[in-house]
Amino acid sequence: MKFKDHLEGDIAVFEISGRIMGGEETTLFHGRIREYINFNKIKIIIDLAKVEWINSVGIGILISTLTTVTNAKGRLALVNIKKIENLLSVTRLITVFEHFDSRDAAIKDFSK
């Protein structure tokens, strides 16, 4: 798993690529999420367009991130979930995560 992050206004956008399956990058990812929260940037979008594969540990990472953001009274959305949509549906997590077809749609909704 690799990720890039940046701010779009007051929204933190994370672009994840590769395989989400745990490891050192996970610690860096969670640390970066907490940094944004510490600076009161609690609107977070995770773009999954470049994700190749995700395992159960990867799903746990997304759930943990959602919990962290929710506990900070923030909002988290997944975008471009096509590659993992079936997995999210089978596990019924599709009903847990807010999700949008595109980053632009999420940013528009978050900016309301």
- Sheet with 98-100, side-by-side order of all strands: 2-8, 11-20, 43-54, 75-79, 98-100
pLDDT tens per residue across span 4-15: 999 999 999 999
pTM: 0.95
The answer to whether the beta carbons of residues 7 and 24 sit under 8 Å apart is no
Q: Note the pLDDT of residue 22.
A: 86
Q: How far apart (Å, rounded) are the C-alpha atoms in residues 19 and 37?
A: 25
For the residues 64-89, what does the mean pLDDT come to? 96
For 2-110, CATH gives 3.30.750.24
pLDDT tens per residue across span 21-31: 888 899 999 99
The domain locations on the chain are 2-110
Percent of the chain with pLDDT over 90: 91
Q: How far apart (Å, rounded) are the C-alpha atoms in residues 29 and 63?
A: 13
SS3 call for 64: helix
